[in-house]
Chains A and B, each alone.
Chain A
Amino acid sequence: MISVKNLKKSFGKNTVLNGVDLHVERGDVLAIIGPSGSGKSTLLRCLNLLEVPDEGKIHIGATNVDVATMGRKDVHNLRQETAMVFQNYNLFKNKTALQNVTEALIVAKKMDKQEAEKIGKELLVKVGLEDKFHQYPSTLSGGQQQRVGIARALAVKPHAILFDEPTSALDPEWVSEVLQVIKDIAKQNTTMIIVTHEMKFAEEVANRVIFMADGNIVEENEPKELFHNPKSPRTKQFLKSLERDE
């Protein structure tokens, strides 16, 4: 379970998160949508403290953190609860696909190398990269790199996986293969929070959707309701602006 209370974050005078409350049950797939600058990526990055919030309480899995009083140990514990899939993949450039997946297992979880490699290979097979174990990121396509990124996140068996616009940097031809992999994982009862611009995908994969604007959660509902029967004028306006684009 994930529970966030009164999360606040400003960059200088610019308020990015204006006291956000969030609740995600185990096994939920939550999609966060909204215009750019609405704070959705910042919210996600606050959950693993890549951005340090100004105030608020974060509870993920077995870890409870109050931003005001947290220490180094709390930060480390909270980060152990999640894993992130990045917009720009951020694969370790000096490591092969397999090493990318096994790195955290060997270094952070102190697993022995053979065991880690067994898990790593299984996961790479699962994301359809059984023939790319020993290739470096520079030799992989964007879609392949992102699938390694997903395998890397799965490897540490996190309480939840955080997806930060996982397809935004991809060439259109690779988007569907990555979305398919995410859908497959979603079916296996993995808790996931997905920040995305892919509305169709959000509707299909999520069981709940949040619409964010100006640092606030404006509307939260089941995908069908939120996309086809939005309550807030702000949500309506946003969805309408997307239709125009299409």
Chain B
Amino acid sequence: MNLELDFGYFVEIFPALLKLIPFTLFLAVISMVFSVIGGLILALITRSNIPVLKQLATIYISFFRAIPTLVQLFLIYYGLPQIFPALTGMTAVTAAILGLSLKQSAFLAEIFRAALNSVEKGQVEACLSVGMTKAQALRRVVLPQATRNAIPASSNVFIGLIKETSLAFTLGIVELFAQGKILAASSLKFFETYLALALLYWILIIIVTLIQQVIEKRMEKPYIS
């Protein structure tokens, strides 16, 4: 075993890596926003009884849960422009966000569907019984309660998203992981570079988990007896 760890180098590269954290977070947050919107729409459709749309949503969820993220990114960035020449101008960043959003909305749809189903039927009945509409019941009573149920699993999806942004390097995007790769290639200090990278991802996820705990605690307030 060779224990010649270059600690000076290890510390030195942090600023260069840290510079890319905002961009990695940008990719993850934007994709999460689109995924939440898409997931909610899909969940509401699968719970409804709208013919055709319901079947389409089910097929969508099945497809995007099944294929590997990498295959999906390649399909969108390298494959789609071949069929639709208009998409040739699509930037790699757009393709990455699109791919990640399409996939995670399928996962979130399942989480949201379960969260919506866990809200008691009586809650909607109570809304209707005092003259509210179904839409008002959904917005004011069902969604807030379902959100609380969905937070833990949705946080997992977000954590997954942060890590999956590293796949964007395959489309030529310089994000956190790609930056690490560049540094390692020029210094040939692979262990130090990737260890620094690993630590940075870990810290990011720890911070996200802390935020999750704060949100959960706040949402739990009405339910503590």
What residues make up the interface of A, taking CB atoms closer than 8 Å to B?
A: 48, 50, 76, 79-80, 82-84, 86, 88, 90-96, 103-104, 107-109, 136-139, 152-153, 155-156, 162
Q: Known contacts being A90-B122, A93-B123, A94-B144, is A103 close to B130, with CB within 8 Å?
A: yes
State the CA gap A156–B131 with chains docked (Å): 8
* B132 and A88 contacting across the interface, CB-CB below 8 Å: no
A-B contact pairs, 5 of them (CB 8 A): A76-B131, A79-B128, A136-B224, A138-B223, A139-B224
State the CA gap A108–B89 with chains docked (Å): 48
Taking CB atoms, residues of chain A closer than 8 Å to B129 are 48, 50, 79, 82-84, 86, 153, 162
State the CA gap A82–B129 with chains docked (Å): 7
* B223 and A136 contacting across the interface, CB-CB below 8 Å: yes
Q: Nearest B residue to A149 by beta-carbon distance?
A: B126
The verdict on B133 contacting chain A, using a C-beta distance below 8 Å, is yes
* B222 and A93 contacting across the interface, CB-CB below 8 Å: yes
CB distance from B133 to the nearest CB of A (A): 7
State the CA gap A172–B149 with chains docked (Å): 33
* B222 and A104 contacting across the interface, CB-CB below 8 Å: no
* B223 and A93 contacting across the interface, CB-CB below 8 Å: yes
Taking CB atoms, residues of chain A closer than 8 Å to B125 are 50, 84, 86, 90
State the CA gap A227–B127 with chains docked (Å): 35
The verdict on B174 contacting chain A, using a C-beta distance below 8 Å, is no
Cβ-neighbour of B145 out of A88, A94, A155 (below 8 A): A94
Taking CB atoms, residues of chain A closer than 8 Å to B145 are 93-94
Taking CB atoms, residues of chain A closer than 8 Å to B223 are 93, 136, 138
- Tell me the B125-159 residues at the A interface (CB within 8 Å): 125-133, 136, 140-141, 144-145, 148
State the CA gap A95–B145 with chains docked (Å): 10
* A109 and B131 contacting across the interface, CB-CB below 8 Å: yes
